Structure 1
Amino acid sequence: MSVEPFSALACPLDGNPLKPDSASWRCQAGHSFDVARQGYINLLPVQNKRSRHPGDSKEMVAARQRFLNAGYYRPVADAISRAVLKDAADESTALSCLDAGCGEGYYLRQLAAASRDQGLGLEVIGLDISKWATLAAAKQDKRPRWVVGSNASLPVLPGSLDRVMCVFGFPVYSEFARVLKPGGLLVKADAGPDHLRELREIIYPSLKPEKPPEAEAPDGFSMAATDTLRFPLTLESPAAIADLLAMTPHFFRAPAEGREKAAQLETLTVTVDVRLTRLERVLQIVM
C-alpha cells in the first residue's frame, strides 16, 4: 500500500473546497494559492499571522532535524505510530491522517514507514505554522501534502480525517473535532512531568510545579486510552546537547546563565517522559 497526499483541503478565507489547478489550488470564489517549487502550499492568510515569520525559526528547525534524524526519539515515534495505526488493520481504504504541528516531518515519515510494514495505505497531510518547518519537511519527503497553516483554523474540510496527530504541539480541540470523522482518533503526545528534567535542572534556577494532565476528555471527544513512555537518553556530544536545547521552548525561556551551563556540558543523560493520549471523536446528540 502507498502513501499519498491528502486532498480534502479547504480555503482558509471562506472554507470552500480547494481544487488543484495546475501549480495552484483554487476555491469556487476564486481565491488562489500557489504551490511553492519545493512542493508545499501556504494556506496561512497574512491577517492570521501574529508576526512576519510565526512558529519555529530556521535555526530551531535545523536543530530539530539533526536531532530527530539521529534517531534519539525513535522510541517516541514508534509509540506514536502504534497508537495511530491501532485498530486500522481492517481498513479497506487508505487511512487519512493530519499531523497538526508537523515540524520538519519526522513523525509523519516514521508513520509512513510503519504503515508500509503493516501493508496499510495512508493519505497524509503535515501542517505547521512555521514556513521553515514546512519547507524542511517538503525537502525530505515529497509524498505527503505539506501545508503552512494554523491549528486554530485548519484548512481542511469538515469530517474528512480518520486520524489527527498532535506531537508536543498546541491542540485546538474544536478544530480537531470539526475535521475528524465520527469515530476518528486524536493521538496526542505531551511532555510528562519528568521529561528532560535533568536538563531543566541545569538551565533553570528552580523548576515550576508541573500541570496535572487533563482529567476529562474535551468536548466532542471521549477518552480511548492513555499510556506513558519513559526511557533514559544519553547524549555524548556537546552538539547533540545543543540541538536538544535549541529545538525546545526552553532555549528561549531559560536565563543566559542556564544556557551557558548547558553549553559547557560534554555529555548528559536525560529522562524522556512522554504521555500518549488517544481520544475518540464522538457524534454529539443535541437534545
Structure 2
Amino acid sequence: MSTEAFDALACPLDGDTLTQTGTCWRCPAGHSFDVARQGYLHLLPVQKKRSLDPGDSKAMVAARQRFLNAGYYQPIAQAVSTAVLQGATAETTTLACLDAGCGEGYYLRELAAANTDTPLSLIGLDISKWATLAAAKQDKRPRWVVGSNANLPVLPGTLDRVLCLFGFPVYPEFARVLKPGGVLIQADPGPNHLRELREIIYPSLKPEKPVAAEAPDGFSIVDTETVRYSLTLDNQGAIADLLAMTPHLYRASAEGRSKAEALITLTVTVEVRVARFVWRGL
C-alpha cells in the first residue's frame, strides 16, 4: 500500500502553515527552510537549541542503525506496527503518523513494511541531525525533519497517530497535533529491560521506578502490551552497539564500560511496555 510524506507542517517560529515550493518551505511571514541535499528538512531554529549539536551523536546513531537493522528489536517493531494499524481498515483514506524522536527511522520503515491495506502519510522527527540524516538516506518516502518534541513543527489536529518510542514525551504537544480520537503509542523499557547488561556495568542496580499506568491529561488508556523475550548477542560488535545506543554508555563508569567491552557473548532480557492512549480532549 502507498506510503507518502506528511505535508501539514507548521513554521517553528510562528506556527503558521508552511508551503513547499521546490526544495524550499515558506510561511506567510516569509520564514523559509530549505530541504537538505540528503532529503531531510531542518525545522529547529538556532534560538531553540540548547546545545550546538543536540541529540544523539553520529556514533550513537550509527550503532543504533547497525543494531536495529540486524533485527534484534523486530518483535518490538511488530508490536508497534500492530498498535498503529489497529482500528484502520481498507476504507481508511490515509493514516497520518508522526514518530516523535524517530532516531534513524527504523520503526517507521518497519511500519511501512508491515502495512498492506492502509495508505500511510509518515513523518519522522528527531532533534539529532545525524539521526534524521541517517533516516533520509535509508528511505525517501516519509518526511524526515530535524525538530523538537517541545515545539512540533506540525499543524494542529492533523495526525491520526503519534509514536513516542523510548523518547521524551511532551503530552501537550502530542495532544495539540492529534485529531480528536487520535492515538498516542508509547513504548518504555520495563523493569527488567537489559537487566543482565546493567548488572555487569553498574556496581549495583537502583530499584526500578514502575512505569506509570495512568493516562496523561485529556487521554484515555486503551490497552497495554508487554513485549518480553531473551536475546543472545554472540559478537563483541553487537554488544558494543547495544551499549552505545543507550544512555548507559554515559552513565556507566570507565570500569563498567571495560567490562562490557570484554564480553564475547551476552544474553539479555528485552522487556518493553507498549501502551495506546486515545486523545479525548480537555
TM-score by length of 1: 0.97
The Cα of 1:23 is off from its aligned counterpart by: 1.1
Cα distance between partner residues in 2 of 1:242 and 1:33: 37
Number of residues paired by the alignment?
282
Corresponding residue of 2:263: 265
The Cα of 1:214 is off from its aligned counterpart by: 1.4
- Contact 2:54–2:128 (8 Å) recurs in 1: yes
Is 1:81 matched with 2:86?
Answer: no
Is 1:242 matched with 2:224?
Answer: no
Equivalent residues in 2 for 1:110-259 (5 A)? 110-115=110-115, 118-259=116-257
- Contact 2:201–2:252 (8 Å) recurs in 1: yes
Cα distance between partner residues in 1 of 2:25 and 2:91: 29
The Cα of 1:262 is off from its aligned counterpart by: 0.3
Where does the alignment leave 5 or more consecutive residues of structure 2 unmatched?
A: none
Secondary structure of residue in 2 paired with 1:258: helix
Cα distance between partner residues in 2 of 1:10 and 1:33: 11
Q: Which amino acid aligns with 2:47?
A: Q
Q: Which amino acid aligns with 2:113?
A: A
Cα distance between partner residues in 1 of 2:33 and 2:193: 39
Cα distance between partner residues in 1 of 2:253 and 2:89: 48
Cα distance between partner residues in 2 of 1:129 and 1:89: 33
Cα distance between partner residues in 2 of 1:94 and 1:13: 28
Is 1:34 matched with 2:34?
Answer: yes
Cα distance between partner residues in 1 of 2:149 and 2:16: 17
Cα distance between partner residues in 2 of 1:197 and 1:245: 12
Secondary structure of residue in 2 paired with 1:47: helix
Corresponding residue of 1:53: 53
Q: Which amino acid aligns with 2:131?
A: A
Cα distance between partner residues in 1 of 2:227 and 2:4: 30
Corresponding residue of 1:69: 69
Is 1:13 matched with 2:13?
Answer: yes
What is the percent sequence identity of the aligned residues? 73
Q: Deviations over 1:205-236 (max 9, x none)?
A: 11111111213211121111111010000000
Q: Deviations over 1:141-183 (max 9, x none)?
A: 0000000000000000000000001111110000000000010
Secondary structure of residue in 2 paired with 1:102: coil
Cα distance between partner residues in 2 of 1:271 and 1:82: 22
Cα distance between partner residues in 2 of 1:49 and 1:15: 17
TM-score by length of 2: 0.99
CA RMSD, 1 decimal: 0.7
The Cα of 1:91 is off from its aligned counterpart by: 4.1
- Contact 2:61–2:130 (8 Å) recurs in 1: yes
Cα distance between partner residues in 2 of 1:19 and 1:38: 20
Cα distance between partner residues in 2 of 1:91 and 1:158: 24
Cα distance between partner residues in 2 of 1:242 and 1:140: 22
Q: Which amino acid aligns with 1:67?
A: F
The Cα of 1:92 is off from its aligned counterpart by: 2.6
Secondary structure of residue in 1 paired with 2:181: strand
Cα distance between partner residues in 2 of 1:92 and 1:235: 40
Cα distance between partner residues in 1 of 2:58 and 2:91: 38
- Contact 2:105–2:135 (8 Å) recurs in 1: yes
